[in-house]
Structure 1
């Protein structure tokens, strides 16, 4: 994996609303960057320099924020009545990000999924995404479409349609290895297909349907296995993904993500860190290049 030129970060989602704990433990594990909750960052909306100082105190920088149709109930790209709310929310995030020097805004779709989008819904969604992306791009922030299981943008045909309908000058792509795989796509192939628009990546594993507790010795009690698991404990082959990123000469952030820990967040992200370093041969603690 010596040709890989990307940078490894970590997602704060595993810690839930324990925002400061996420910063402290991510730093203790040797990660150099984090994707925090947007709600946490917005607490510093009027004092971004103070948030910079908080990050710096833990030796971290911010990889991205999650926006798009998130941030409010019942928002959907495909619902024209939500358009202005979606635009306003993403512009709000982009203004803060611009002051923090973070350039990628993940455009997560709305949910829950109601079934495949119609052509008319895709056109409405594209119009909303285009307008919001244009506004964030004017602030120096890239809007990155992020297909997600159980949402309005899940399947490959929806991704392809939106990537065709959306302006390539302002709408970029944020692939997630687990969400693409879960929807029947090949992450490496999709990354190559949209090589000129990949601007941000989530590295995430998908639990095998045949997995048992013996496969997850850190699992606590009788809790059911989560859909997403620590890197290396699921079904995804990550080496082709890293090879694809190296092939397209990707130099941006690759953020390790696990929604729900099977033990504690710090243990789960240690497993992920060790997998990236030992199995993929990419340094995490040695500093990002």
Structure 2
């Protein structure tokens, strides 16, 4: 197993402001220096990085700049994280075009994974057909990923159609996309992260790890989640992919990365 880290800890999670009025620009964005994040992640010892779609697309016209940073620090761009509502038919083409542009750019840097979250929640709450619409959209994401030699995975997330474990169980039989569990989001949504990883182990090609306690996302080993048992399940299943630590925010980002790195190195 290989160890990677998400750059979003540096600057925290925001959205691109243009996305408020333009769906095609509705990117995730970390409001910090991507170059500093990559440098400090490498200094800690991680081999790879994952990046938000909005931060990646900033390099669309200057790809060499990101290539230099990655090469200088001897780290790999492992994956890119994107998302969409998926349930509104009129805007779906714009959402998918955005994801396609990001997938194309990620592939230029040799990325392996395309991760998406989403499934919008209507004002009136989730509707029965919304899961079908989400599944159809995710299957289109799979095709986009395949076009660019990426592996597509769905990330259950608070504030989406799959924030609760029973909602995930509705969705997964409807789509062929892989599952990217996020250990903390699963627990925050009332689920048992270990049980969910066991249940869907055959569809896990990529995973996000972070700890959780009393409503707070934490570095690994500082919360209530049995990360050790989750790693054992992955080992038993001969999982040889990436373990991506994805901690949305931490006062001193590099320190948070160091805590999680030491924890994982002791386990694997």
Number of residue-to-residue matches in the alignment: 248
**Normalising by structure 2, what TM-score?**
0.85
The answer for the alignment partner of 1:164 in structure 2 is 173
Residue pairs, 1:44-193, within 5 angstroms: 44-69=59-84, 76-110=85-119, 117-166=126-175, 168=176, 171-193=177-199
Matched, 1:194 2:200: yes
Q: Secondary structure at the match of 2:106?
A: helix
**Normalising by structure 1, what TM-score?**
0.80
**Contact 2:78–2:110 (CA under 8 A) maintained in structure 1:** no
Which structure has more relative contact order (CA 8 Å, sep 6+)? It is 1
Distance 1:187 1:245 in 2: 13
The answer for the alignment partner of 1:273 in structure 2 is 261
> Relative to structure 1, is the Cα distance of residues 59 and 112 closer, same or farther in structure 2, using a 3 angstrom cutoff?
farther
Name structure 2 gaps, 5 residues minimum.
Answer: 12-31
> Relative to structure 1, is the Cα distance of residues 106 and 127 closer, same or farther in structure 2, using a 3 angstrom cutoff?
same
Structure with a larger share of its residues in strand = 2
Structure with a larger share of its residues in helix = 2
Report Cα offsets for 1:165-209 as digits up to 9, x if no partner.
Answer: 11x2xx111111101111222222222222222121111111236
Distance 2:114 2:145 in 1: 9
Name structure 1 gaps, 5 residues minimum.
Answer: 1-5, 70-75, 210-226, 283-289
Residue 46 of structure 1 and its aligned partner are, at CA, apart by: 4.3
Matched, 1:248 2:237: yes
Q: Secondary structure at the match of 1:251?
A: coil
Residue 116 of structure 1 and its aligned partner are, at CA, apart by: 5.9
Residue 60 of structure 1 and its aligned partner are, at CA, apart by: 0.8
Q: Which runs of at least 4 in structure 1 moved beyond 4 Å after TM superposition?
A: 110-116
